[in-house]
Amino acid sequence: MLYIKAPAKINLTLDVLYKRPDHYHEVDMIMTTIDLSDRIGLEARQDGVIKIISADRFVPSDERNFAYQAAKLVQDTYKIKEGVSITIDKEIPIAAGLAGGSSDAAATLRGLNELWNLNLTIDELAELGAQIGSDVPFCVYGGTARATGRGEKIEELPTPPNCWIVLAKPKIGVSTADVYGGLRLDGVVHPNTAKAIEAIDNKDYEALCESLGNVLESVTLKLHPEVSMIKEQMYRLGADAVLMSGSGPTVFGLVDSEARTARIYNGLRGFCDEVYTVRLLGERNTLA
């Protein structure tokens, strides 16, 4: 069995510029991986079958699963006769705005590259990933990056200033399609992506905290008041900056002191079951 780590991501910025003729939205966002990960196990099969195995009943076991799609895409593209059993041990909350499914797909691509001796470059794996979902190329690379286009154009960035992350996910699911469908770009406050990149380049924690922004909050916070409540609680408990990740509903807070994370974590646990304290991963994946 070959095991691969599939880390979650958070959006430090998420800007939507316009709707494209292909019905995707043109985005400009900064993402970074965090130390909250699923674990993907891959085992070769001789019968050509792709089998998804997971103890989590919310993980689809068919072609709706991004890891399944990744394996099928590799099989079809490179005429692979072998099959694979894919075991998914979930730690990343599902439908949370943390790219759990996309990261599972990216880990599957990286793992099958090794299992099936394909010798593909990480750029080739990212190109494959773009056929599965907009966040998959970033998850193939990992680390920190600016993502543009529909999310598939990746520009590597340095690791952000060192800090702690507290995550909280309310007991709701959010439809990404509904959030984008409800987005009205006239009047929204766009994040200053260039300022955020400058803060990352300079390892300036305070400037980074001031630069966080996500235009999708303008929709999700209206649809789900519990997300607003978590944001308010995080600030009240002492987080330095607070933002929703992706289309939500997960909210994260940046904290520069480990001692303060315990207070925020404990305060949130009073009304939110899924709360995590994690660090930034920062390192980009390589095939070396």
Which residues carry out catalysis?
A: 9, 135
* Alpha carbon distance 128, 143 (integer Å): 19
Token pair, residue 12, equals 């430090």
* Alpha carbon distance 211, 222 (integer Å): 22
- In 54-169, at which residue ranges do the beta strands (DSSP E only) sit? 83-89, 144-149, 153-157, 164-169
Distance of CA 72 to the CA centre of its chain: 22
**141 Cβ neighbours under 8 A, 6+ residues apart:** 122, 126, 154, 156, 284, 285
CB 169 within 8 A of CB 272: yes
Edge-to-edge order in the sheet of strand 241-244:
241-244, 251-255, 164-169, 274-279
